[in-house]
Amino acid sequence: MADGTKSTYQSPLRARLKEQTGHIILEAVGNVIRESDLASVSIAEVARTAGVTEQTIYRHYHTRDELIRAFVKWHLEQAVGGPDIQLPRTIDELLAWVESRYSAWEADRQIVSETYLSPIGRELRQPLYELGYQNLMLMLGKEYPAVSEELRAATASAMLTLMSTENFVFLQRTLGYDAMTVHRSIVMAINAMRRGLREYPSTA
């Protein structure tokens, strides 16, 4: 170069291999959690499960906390559809979408309960819940324009709580519900709220 400095060439192949190795490492984290729990995740155990050296993991993630954070973020992105997620346009669409989420959570119950409910999981899910709340407010406003904003906000909060991961895990652990039963109970409860909203303006 004219100023005497050298440009750094970034090999596309090397970048692709690094990305693939990163996915192998994150999948190994998931396998460790499925076989045991979040506390069992260590750099050494993940390296053993992934079939790579600890040094390889440290090249991607400097600490155990950074590794776990990356895994939870990656798993959440997969769960909600990644960056190309299409938000439901109606409450009926939302309830249909939630059914598939419950089935996926049940299939990966150990990861959901161990990581989604952890401090890191709660932190990473917060923006998703805020987005879900705003979308619920929008949908309720379209379906029930005569209802006050205060009542829509209360209803959106209740619906969001019913559909949350926390409630899903609670119903499974406490009442032994499977994914289908959780979904059926949530749909019935939310539809009862919707009937109440339809009647509310005329009885106010």
pLDDT tens for 28-49 read 999 999 999 999 999 999 999 9
Domain 12-75 has CATH 3.10.150.10: no
Q: What is the pTM of this model?
A: 0.81
CATH 1.10.10.60 occupies which residues in the chain?
12-75
Q: Which of 102, 105, 54, 50 is nearest to 75 (CA)?
A: 105
For residue 1, CA distances in Å to 4, 7, 9 come to: 5, 8, 13
Distance of CA 152 to the CA centre of its chain: 24
Residue 77, pLDDT score: 87
pLDDT tens for 170-180 read 999 999 999 99
> CB of 71 within 8 A of CB of 124?
no
Q: Which of 136, 75, 58 is nearest to 109 (CA)?
A: 75
